[in-house]
Amino acid sequence: MATDLLIRNARPLGGPATDLLIRSGRIVERATGLSAPGVPIEDAGGKLVLPGLVEAHTHLDKTLLGMGWHPHGAGPRIIDKIDHERALKGPLDIDPARQSARQALQSVGFGTTHIRTHLDIDTDYGLWAVEGIAATRERLRPVVDIDRVAFPQSGLLRRPGTLELMDRALAMGVEVVGGLDPCAIDRDPKGHLDAVFALSQKHGRPIDIHLHEPGEMGAFSLELIFERIRALGLRGQVTVSHAFCLGAPDRDLVDPLIAQLAELDVAIMTTGPASRPAPPVARLLAAGIRVCSGSDGIRDTWSPYGNGDMLERAMLVGLRNNFRRDEDVELAFHTCTRGGADAMRIAGYGLEPGCAADLVIVPGETVTDAVVSRPTDRVVVKRGVVVARGGVCTVVAP
């Protein structure tokens, strides 16, 4: 596949128009009036060029996209949604291979070039998600990079056998160790976190923990996480997803947590949830903390919402954080682009010469304009190859 491309007349992040020359999938030159005989040309017509959008937290294995409308009937608690989903997954045939490809391709159409997905691992379905995603990951390698988290969605200790399945998933190459609400779901914060960190140590993998626990309970779990990072020397190796406890109104509770996140280089993932306390994005970034964003589940049994558009996600993060000034909306955009690359340690990310040519061309005047307008007429480039136009990907969904 040709991985050379000359992009003409594009405005990087809304700056002055320029050309970008891509060779062997990397940006090699960025200047006006470039020419490169024989290299295919993509005329951006003065549109914005943005680095590839980064979906840093989703659940590709369990979307219902393309399966017809399924009414949402789960109860209000997280454990209700967990049990409801596990009961339906087999009967509805929510096949991880098929479903992950559908969602990933929809995301690529919106300009996403990197995805981190949490894969359900439990004693009812074993490694179904791990195997399904392995197929999708291989098949979609030309259009999107998929990073996987082994995720004990139904609890790690409360359902014996799960820990062994997690261990097997990591042995099979899954890149990240996941965890979930050490107090609220497993009811054993010490046991849960000791197990998660032991898996990390054994396999030499980073950690990404779901932490929905609010207020003092979440702060307690965070403290236990900090203790283990210090004891094991895992600075910079941990991401905490959701972290609703950081949205508590009590600054005396939250500020020391923020200071420790910075000290231990813990990344935070937020979806910008409208109905839950949310991590204060501007304060976290000002403290030097890596902050990324994600769609979380899209059209699954937990929730009907979501479409995988990380520009729309930036809008939702902006609305949640009351970002109105352009420089503030750009913080929300940051969480959906470079912030994701920082959290996921993506090498060579950006629009500078030397970076991988993962990018998206979008109509708009400024980055903030793109976030609030979210035009769908996008051109998506992965490693120098145009992989989607107007939402339609070169790879066809199953």
**Minimum distance, C-beta of residue 20 to a second copy, in the bound complex (Å):** 23
Instruction: Work out whether 87 is an interface residue with a second copy (CB under 8 A).
Output: no
How many whole angstroms separate alpha carbon 132 and alpha carbon 46? Answer: 40
How many whole angstroms separate alpha carbon 261 and alpha carbon 239? Answer: 10
Whether 79 contacts 124, CB under 8 Å: no
Element of type H or E holding 238: strand 238-242
Spell out the residues 6+ positions from residue 109 whose beta carbon is closer than 8 angstroms to its own.
378, 380, 388, 390, 391, 392, 393
Q: Quick one: 259 or 286, whose CB is closer to a second copy?
A: 286
CA-wise closest residue to 364 among 44, 106, 94, 28: 44
For residue 67, count other CB atoms closer than 10 A to its CB: 15
Q: Quick one: 255 or 327, whose CB is closer to a second copy?
A: 327
Among 303, 352, 353, 392, binds a second copy (CB under 8 A): 303
Instruction: Work out whether 59 is an interface residue with a second copy (CB under 8 A).
Output: no
Residue with tokens 């939250």: 254
Q: Quick one: 113 or 321, whose CB is closer to a second copy?
A: 321
Q: Quick one: 6 or 48, whose CB is closer to a second copy?
A: 48
Q: Quick one: 65 or 97, whose CB is closer to a second copy?
A: 65
Spell out the residues 6+ positions from residue 305 whose beta carbon is closer than 8 angstroms to its own.
298, 299
**Minimum distance, C-beta of residue 325 to a second copy, in the bound complex (Å):** 5
State the Rg of the chain over Cα.
21
**Minimum distance, C-beta of residue 122 to a second copy, in the bound complex (Å):** 22
Instruction: Work out whether 9 is an interface residue with a second copy (CB under 8 A).
Output: no
- Report DSSP state, residue 332: H
Among 111, 218, 306, 340, binds a second copy (CB under 8 A): 306
Task: Restricting to residues 349-388, name those near a second copy by CB under 8 A.
Answer: 365-366, 368-369, 371-373
Beta pairing class for 5-12 and 18-23: antiparallel
Instruction: Work out whether 69 is an interface residue with a second copy (CB under 8 A).
Output: yes
Whether 139 contacts 101, CB under 8 Å: yes
**Minimum distance, C-beta of residue 69 to a second copy, in the bound complex (Å):** 4
Q: Quick one: 206 or 364, whose CB is closer to a second copy?
A: 364
Among 74, 262, 395, 397, binds a second copy (CB under 8 A): 74
Among 37, 91, 160, 274, binds a second copy (CB under 8 A): 274
Q: Quick one: 71 or 160, whose CB is closer to a second copy?
A: 71
How many whole angstroms separate alpha carbon 188 and alpha carbon 184? Answer: 8
Q: Quick one: 228 or 374, whose CB is closer to a second copy?
A: 374
Whether 182 contacts 156, CB under 8 Å: no
Among 16, 33, 73, 160, binds a second copy (CB under 8 A): 73
**Minimum distance, C-beta of residue 272 to a second copy, in the bound complex (Å):** 7
Task: Restricting to residues 308-327, name those near a second copy by CB under 8 A.
Answer: 315-316, 318-322, 324-326
Instruction: Work out whether 299 is an interface residue with a second copy (CB under 8 A).
Output: yes
Element of type H or E holding 3: none
Whether 280 contacts 317, CB under 8 Å: no
Q: Looking at the DSSP assignment, which residues form a beta bridge with residue 10?
A: 18
Q: Quick one: 260 or 366, whose CB is closer to a second copy?
A: 366
Beta pairing class for 5-12 and 48-51: parallel
Where does this chain bind a second copy (CB under 8 A)?
A: 68-69, 71-74, 272-276, 299, 302-307, 315-316, 318-322, 324-326, 329, 365-366, 368-369, 371-373
